[in-house]
Structure 1
Amino acid sequence: MLGITAAVLLFIAFLINAATIGTNEVFSSTNFTLIGLAALALHVAGIGHGWAVRGRGRGRRR
């Protein structure tokens, strides 16, 4: 999930930079790039890889 989020944020940063859209400091392409790279780093680290429900499943019965 974080990989998709990173891709979307980096694409938005690219659009802002390529279209030279004048934005305020909060929505600058640099901020979108940094947030996208942080999300990508978390994805590569294994955080946010998916939701796992632990409980009774197909485990071994005694």
Structure 2
Amino acid sequence: MLALAAAVLFVIAFLIQATETSTEAIFSPTSLMLIGLALLALHLGGVGSGWSAPSRRRRR
């Protein structure tokens, strides 16, 4: 999920850069790229890999 969010931020940053749209400093292509890289690093680190339900073990 984090990798998908990172990809969306990369596309938005690319479109802002390609169209030379003037934006506020917080939405500059560089800041969006850095946020995307942080999300991608979190994804590769296993943070957004999904939920795992606790396994129930039966006593025998």
What corresponds to 1:12 in structure 2?
12
Q: Distance in 1 between matches of 2:9 and 2:24?
A: 17
Higher helix share: 2
Q: Distance in 2 between matches of 1:16 and 1:4?
A: 19
Cα deviation digits, residues 15-35 of structure 1 (max 9, x gap)? 110010000101110110000
Q: What is the CA distance between 1:51 and its match in structure 2?
A: 1.8
Cα deviation digits, residues 11-55 of structure 1 (max 9, x gap)? 110011001000010111011000000000111111111122225
2:25 is paired with a residue of what secondary structure?
Answer: coil
Structure 2: gaps of 5 or more residues: none
What corresponds to 1:46 in structure 2?
46
1:26 is paired with a residue of what secondary structure?
Answer: helix
Question: How many residues align structurally?
Answer: 60
Q: Does 1:27 align with 2:58?
A: no
Report the TM-score when normalising by structure 1.
0.85
Q: Percent identity?
A: 55
Deviation beyond 6 Å, 4+ runs, structure 1 = none
